Chain A
Amino acid sequence: MFDYSVLDRAIEKFGNEEKSLIAVLQEAQENYRYLPKEIFPYLAEKLNVSEAKIFGVATFYENFSLEQKGKYVIKVCDGTACHVRHSVPILEALRKELGLSEEKKTTDDLMFTVETVACLGACSSAPAITLNNEIYPTMTPESAVALVKSIIEKEGK
């Protein structure tokens, strides 16, 4: 049985109207780590918005994902400041280490997701990455790989 209580709480908090849609989807994304297909008909009824419209919103915004993300989400900043301080080799090193690519963003064991972000606003710490929203400054391909390895080791215990 799918647990809808997360949605109920979000609707309670933001109100059952169309303008709450993005905020409700954000709560759902944070709780489930993606937008499961079960939520669309449920929200359509509760918010009185068509499923197609909700799907349209969910696919429009970068932060929503229809596929499950990993337990650890690594975002490599590829904003201008990070780009000119060589962020791409960091991204490539992480993808290589975890067997990921531009198309395949999440590892099969749902442990890691590697994606890029346009700018974290941490330009003075360029190149920067985030691991579950915590900023790691002035990274190198080596330090990024070391970070991943330390997580794998911690999880392996």
Chain B
Amino acid sequence: MLKSKEELQALRSQVKEAFDAESKRIIVCAGAGCVSKGALKIYDKFAEIMKEKGVKFSLELQKEPHSDGVRLKESGCHGFCEIGPLVRIEPQGWLYVKVKVEDCEEIISETIIGGKCVDRLAYTQDGQIYREQKEIPFYKKQTRLILDNCDKIDATSIEEYLATGGYTALEKVLFDMDAESVINEISESGLRGRGGGGFPAGRKWSQVARQNNFPKYVVCNGDEGDPGAFMDRSVMEDDPHRLLEGMIIAGIACGANDGYIYVRAEYPKAVARLELAIKQATELGLLGDNILGSGFNFNMHINRGAGAFVCGEGSALTASIEGKRGMPRTKPPRTVEHGLFDKPTVLNNVETYANVSTIINNGSEWFKKIGTENSTGTKTFALTGNIQNAGLIEVPMGTTLREVIFDIGGGVRDGGEFKAVQIGGPSGGCLTEEHFDLPLDFDSLSKVGAIIGSGGLVVMDKKTCMVEVARFFMDFTQKESCGKCVPCREGTKRMLEILNRIVDGKGEDGDIELLKELGEAISKTALCGLGKTAAGPVLSTIKYFEDEYRAHIYDKKCPAGACQKLKTISIDPEICKGCSKCARNCPVGAIKGEIKKPFVIDQKLCIKCGACLSSCPFKAIKEN
């Protein structure tokens, strides 16, 4: 248990010395993407081979500095999930991609013992080999502040967090700053909430700090429910102490002594990592009573979500922590006045808190130089969908869509053609080619009817039907609507019905207008953020892809060729041998013909189920 600032500093310099002394490292990415592709087996194999070959190695940070031997480490997500499992070799900084268990032997003998790069495992792009991770185009344009530790440290070790400068911000806040100067620093930095709305974090903190109603609470929204987003997951799993440090500082600034982290049920590993981090911090005296002898007390609690997307909304989230149904309430009063247990509450999301220690350590002036004037700092994005380099990235605010999709993301997957990118999940909207040079920041996006949201970027190619995408999001929101207010409960249901009809080829004249009218009404009248933004994907796809809606409704055609019910299935008479197998498989008797002569599908009867397609032994049946 550390009892003073000096004891913390002594421990930090001790572990830092041990950390810096590690001369050779094999860092295996143990992020979700790489683990699902076998990263843990690779880790075990490295250990097994080094044992066999008599290479001296250790699996954890040594107590005393040792420069001989190899450090084998499981780190968090490196972000470049597309080409995992990833293994980085230090000190050279070489990155090996798509590593298999069979490659481990060669890596140990060639690289660890021989000091040579195994070029066949290095990343190649356009015929060029990139040995070093930092040279790879995917990483070169990024600025990794929040994700900096993720690919460096072992998230289960508080010593490694300390060794890389962890808890220096807490130390500074406890002993060299007062609450007001902390809030000023955060306000000055221009940090805006990373959960979607972009509300200035410093202003929120000061609103809580000036309340004279105790106890107060610090709550973290880790209910990252947007489909296609996994940035907060990475911070919670791979750098949990960064989140804890940010929350403790918020507690000092606002006068709160309890913190609650609300984590999505689908992230069991994040829960386990946070529990461990809390235990370690408590044992070291960085959480609990009288932190480092400063007289300040802070306790941290974890609440697991139970699968309700609406709990990402502030008042629903606090209701859920209280053990109730997670339903939003009318505002005001706002969470800063009447939040958790009806007390003043600072509620920010994971990424917002993760920025705090960086700002305190480097100062607001330094932070403001990153990003744009009104959107300072960086933003993490989950780059997914039909993109070449799917993964987790972090770029300065204001980076253009073109840089993100083409320079970092490598363009559309499998040589496909770009159509749109969905930003902000079910609350957001789509961006198209005309937005390639749009800077990704809070204000530029809201001008074009989209939002940063939590940072999911789903890229769609020409084969993706935008009406179907809008239907998909509406289906999601409708299922997740809590049912409390009428506009959202009934409105999303009706909008979904119309969209279902359209993709089924039963769209009617006037549907587009009705969708717009309903969408605008829900946006204006729904109770909470979920409802207010529910129509976003529909309205923005109508705005940019009205032609596609019209084609579905008036021509009964899906231009992308994606909607099953709008496909025409036909038999190529040149190839058909007249075996009758398709006719026997057709559930509605739509296929007729004479044996040994080409069969024909009656389009009026056909229900486009596709049963005939898979039954044809000659591949004579085609759909378009």
Contacts and interface: CB of A to CB of B under 8 A. Distances in A.
Given A60-B326, A122-B36, A81 B82 contact: no
Contact of B321 (A19, A118, A120, A125): A19
Interface string A71-84: 00000001111011
Nearest to A60: B325
7 tightest A-B contacts by CB?
Answer: A124-B81, A62-B307, A79-B227, A61-B306, A81-B384, A121-B230, A21-B323
Contacts of A21: 323-324
Contact of A63 (B307, B425, B464): B307
B228 A80 contact: yes
Interface residues of A, number: 40
22 contacts: A19-B322, A22-B303, A22-B306, A25-B306, A49-B323, A53-B324, A56-B325, A61-B306, A61-B307, A61-B325, A63-B305, A63-B306, A81-B227, A81-B382, A119-B230, A123-B228, A124-B32, A125-B32, A125-B37, A126-B390, A128-B36, A135-B35
Contacts of A137: 33, 36-37
A20 B323 contact: yes
A3 to B, nearest CB: 23
A24 to B, nearest CB: 9
B426 to A, nearest CB: 8
A104 B304 CA distance: 27
A128 B384 CA distance: 13
Interface footprint category on B: 35 or more
Given A60-B326, A133-B268, A85 B385 contact: yes
Interface in A16-50: 17-23, 25-26, 49
A92 to B, nearest CB: 10
Interface of B: 32-33, 35-37, 81-82, 84, 224-230, 233, 264-268, 303-309, 320-327, 382, 384-386, 390-392, 422, 425, 456, 458, 460, 464, 469, 472-473, 476, 480, 482
B265 A63 contact: yes
Contact of B472 (A57, A64, A80, A126): A80
A83 B323 CA distance: 32
Given A63-B305, A123-B230, 8 more contacts: A60-B308, A80-B473, A81-B227, A119-B229, A121-B32, A123-B228, A125-B33, A125-B36
Nearest to B473: A80
A122 B82 CA distance: 11
A72 B372 CA distance: 49
A124 B77 CA distance: 11
Most chain B CB atoms below 10 A, which of A60, A61, A78, A117: A60
A122 B33 contact: yes
Contact of A121 (B37, B224, B306, B425): B224
B428 to A, nearest CB: 10
B234 to A, nearest CB: 9
Contacts of B37: 125, 137
Contacts of B385: 80-81, 84-85, 126
B464 A84 contact: yes
Contacts of A83: 227, 472
Contacts of B308: 60-62
B458 A84 contact: yes
Contacts of B229: 119, 121, 123
Most chain B CB atoms below 10 A, which of A49, A78, A83: A83
B454 to A, nearest CB: 11
Given A22-B306, A56-B325, A126 B36 contact: no
Given A19-B323, A61-B307, A84-B460, A119 B33 contact: no
B324 A122 contact: no
A84 B386 contact: yes
A124 B82 contact: yes
Contacts of A79: 227-228
B306 A119 contact: no
Given A79-B228, A84-B386, A118 B309 contact: yes
A135 B323 contact: no
A136 B36 CA distance: 6
Given A121-B32, A122-B36, A80 B425 contact: yes
A119 B386 contact: no
A145 to B, nearest CB: 13
Contacts of B268: 133
Nearest to B33: A124
B266 A124 contact: no
Contacts of A56: 325
B36 A135 contact: yes
B323 A18 contact: yes
A23 B301 CA distance: 12
A62 B33 contact: no
Contacts of B36: 122, 125, 128, 135-137
